[in-house]
Structure 1
């Protein structure tokens, strides 16, 4: 073999190694998500933050991973403040918050509202009370107002029903209505499901409780709060006060597989999942 032929063989071998390496590197990269067919995305996403948003994120992540088996979406809690910090620090690709951000928390973050959470205050249809103020609701659930006559109803005791500790609906109610200075009365009847609260109120003319807006039916009556009727419209426009946004936060505009996931969440398919328990922000 001549020297010239030997060097030609070395060059060809090197070219083959380079091409093979490039192919392997391409397989390990995260796809951009733009123009990709379903199932062709790959990469990983970490979501952290609000424990109220967490169950919804888990459902959305499962649906997204079913469509894209090469993508891993990890969902963790920690609270809204932790989610905001995780997005700011880059510890998570997406931070989740169930409250509006303070001005000083917004720096460098892109906010995407993925859902709204509305909670209806319900009474028995035979109850003459149809409207309450937010302050009256707080005092009723704190055990400070105990008779319906004190809020415009008949002379009868108020029977309070609440969800169990750890319930996301209870957590939202405590955060929005009770605040940090009041606790739900220990005399309240505790129910372990939305349907159980609704049934308890349906069967007791003197009962009051709270359930997710999407679980309302004709067997109970939702009262107006500060003159506003609970509905998807009033939750979306912010006039119904017992509501809050579910927000995804990214450091800058989302890109790549993270953008693909958020686009899925806002798509008709993703918003259908949202609408099973919450108020969708897009139709």
Structure 2
């Protein structure tokens, strides 16, 4: 390579790098962090958004709802994804954040398919997680010890499950995982295992459990027959930058809500026949 060509190449690269820096400086790159239950939807929407908007970059990460809320409050990221209302999380000032509810997700207990049961009472599900019931044969299943698996303490999925199942009682200490995908994998591979995931993470190699005869379906979430559900929130500062606002508007657009949201196992907020406030009270 001649000296002239080398200098020209260096000059071109410097322009390219400078241009990329300029995109970031102008707010052309944003980051969304938090809920792993919401992560698959945000990642898929981000891919479509970037395809339709060249030069716009949406970085999506997990880490749990607590991480999402604390990071957006601190200004470290533009969007905090959460299964929880900001009011539910200690140390978060909800008055400084804007709540964008982009979907609803049901959360279901899942078990290894060989445990031998498909239905459980809410009371017995609670006893399983407190450790009062320790073998599946006590519930009419196989003679297999129960293996508990929890999400990590900052998880919105865990907080929602405990709110509606544990009713303030302490769950037995058990193995914890940060990722819903890893939870599903461990339940699939571990005899006697039980945990819980968002509907969007359910696959045919794990068994969902009905509760008191009610199946974990979107239809049962919509009218609150299935009570273990949460809104999927994307929190921003009160005055988000233009790219953040555009991305939020895109995920709330009819096209995304009517197609991608449903396809990925979530429920559009518009399809809910009930609403809940941050304390869990029905408001209509």
Using the size of structure 1 for normalisation, the TM-score is 0.59
Q: Structure 1: 5+ residue runs without aligned partners?
A: 1-27, 31-41
Q: How does 1:1-283 map to 2 (within 5 A)?
A: 43-102=28-87, 105-121=93-109, 130-133=119-122, 135-141=123-129, 143-147=131-135, 150-151=138-139, 153=140, 156-158=142-144, 160=146, 172-173=157-158, 176-177=161-162, 181-184=171-174, 194=184, 212-213=198-199, 215=202, 222-224=209-211, 228-252=214-238, 254=240, 256-271=242-257, 272-281=259-268, 282=270
Larger Rg: 1
Distance 1:58 1:280 in 2: 17
How many corresponding residue pairs? 232
In the alignment, the residues of structure 2 paired with residue 273 and residue 86 of structure 1 have an alpha-carbon distance, to the nearest angstrom, of: 27
Q: Secondary structure, in 3 states, of the residue corresponding to 1:73?
A: strand
Note if contact 1:158-1:208 (Cα within 8 Å) is conserved in structure 2. no
Q: Deviations over 1:101-134 (max 9, x none)?
A: 227632032211222332333577996773411x
Q: Deviations over 1:171-229 (max 9, x none)?
A: 8358624786423479xxxx96858957999xxxx986656535477x9563125x654
Cα distance change of structure 1 residues 143 and 88 upon mapping to structure 2, 3 Å threshold: closer
Stretches of structure 2 lacking an aligned partner (at least 5 in a row):
1-21, 272-284
Give the TM-score of the pair, scaled to structure 2.
0.59
